[in-house]
Amino acid sequence: MTLGTGEDVCNVSKSRSKKALVKPQAGTPDSEAVEVIEAEVLPVELSASRGNDEELPEVIELSGDESTENDESAADDESRSSSLVPYSALDAYLSEIRRFSPLSREEEYAVALEYRKTKSQEAAKKLVFGSLWLVVKIARDYEKVARNVLDLIQEGNIGLMEAVQNFDPYRGVRFPSYAVWWIRAYIIRYIIANWRLVKIGTTQAQRKLFFNLKKESERLEREGIYPSPKLLADRLNVREGDVIEMSQRLGGPDLSVDAPLHDESDSNLLSLLPSGEESAEETIAKRELHEALQGAITAFRETLTPKEVRIFQGRVLDEERVTLQDLSDELSISKERVRQIENRLRGKLKEFVSSRLGSELREWVSPGDVD
């Protein structure tokens, strides 16, 4: 069996090295970093391989067991030589942003002033590229609560671009001091939105509890004080109900209402939750009450004079009540007289309905409503 030449082994190593570094899709945050790695690392590896070709032994003919053993060892050496260090997107990104040095105070002011006046994209890029280090620094502070630091960096970069658009260089504040608030706000919003399937922290009080509830509880425990919901609410300046609700949310995982209650069970959590819809009994009871009240009001109208019917209809039954002045002009009486007749009709209607329906009305409504 004839071993391949050193050039053949180098060709195999080159082809496998190029396949190991898979280039991401165009437009992703790491595409440019990968291109830099391919442009800088691969030529060095290939030149090293060519330099080692001169040291390879001459091609010899082998046979039998000796040929088989050398063939297996050559395959192992080829596999080891073609293996690469695992690719890390975070390391590639950090290596890429090292090319951009932070701007000085004078450079920041000049570039920010240019962008504010001309909205130049080049000026915006200089501000963004000069502050990428700040995004990484802030994202590292929230690394423990995030699954992927690159996601935090990406959200922080969006906040950084938002800061560029709103930055006012005339206020005398350096751009990183202003941008840190936008970067942190976007990172915090991302963490809260992706912490659970069901969103938590939808209000300002809930966002405060999300980050401070556990910290404050541990502080009280170290002081030997039991962290009751009331005490935590006073310390964090929120309602006690918000503390209890957030403790329940953070204390357990999300549950699927469609999951079975236990093994070999056809019931799920959804079947145990109360329905927000009215039952058939409540619907029928409300309809019967409405019909009874309509009948009582119709009967009450028949006992009134024409003048009282007009006031009763315009001031009691109509959704848009007629003004006292309009009824006064229509009926040729004073506004005070209209108001007196209205109050007397309301009292008579209450007595009439109570006497007509009696016990049936008390079954549908509470005693306080009847009074």
Q: Which tops the pLDDT comparison, 352 or 276?
A: 352
Architecture of domain 280-370: Orthogonal Bundle (1.10)
Residue 172: phi and psi, rounded to 5, are: 80, 15
DSSP 8-state secondary structure symbol assigned to residue 273: S
Rounded CA separation 225/211 (Å): 20
pLDDT band at 194 (very low <50, low <70, confident <90, very high): confident
Rounded CA separation 351/357 (Å): 10
User: Is the pLDDT assigned to residue 286 strictly greater than 80?
Assistant: yes
DSSP 8-state secondary structure symbol assigned to residue 32: H
Closest C-alpha to 318, from 332, 336, 297, 334: 297
Residue 103: phi and psi, rounded to 5, are: -85, 150
pLDDT at 2: 41
Rounded CA separation 243/231 (Å): 10
Tens-place pLDDT, residues 146-177: 778 899 999 999 999 999 999 999 998 999 99
Closest C-alpha to 79, from 148, 12, 6: 12
User: Is the pLDDT assigned to residue 322 strictly greater than 70?
Assistant: yes
Lowest mean pLDDT among 112-121, 249-258, 316-325: 249-258
Beta bridge partners of 61: 2
Judged on CB neighbours under 10 Å (0-12, 13-18, 19+), 145 is middle
DSSP annotation string for 120-148: -HHHHHHHHHTTHHHHHHHHHHTGGG-S-
User: Is the pLDDT assigned to residue 64 strictly greater than 70?
Assistant: no
> How many distinct helices (H) and strands (E) make up the chain?
18, 0
203: helix, strand or coil: coil
Q: Which tops the pLDDT comparison, 18 or 234?
A: 234
100-194: CATH number: 1.20.120.1810
Tens-place pLDDT, residues 203-242: 777 777 777 888 888 888 898 889 888 888 888 888 888 8
pLDDT at 260: 77
Q: What angle do CA 206, 209, 210 make, to 5 degrees?
A: 85
User: Is the pLDDT assigned to residue 245 strictly greater than 90?
Assistant: no
pTM above 0.85, yes or no: no
DSSP annotation string for 240-272: HHHHHHHHHHHHS----TTSBSSTT---BGGGT
User: Is the pLDDT assigned to residue 20 strictly greater than 50?
Assistant: no
Beta bridge partners of 138: none
pLDDT at 122: 92
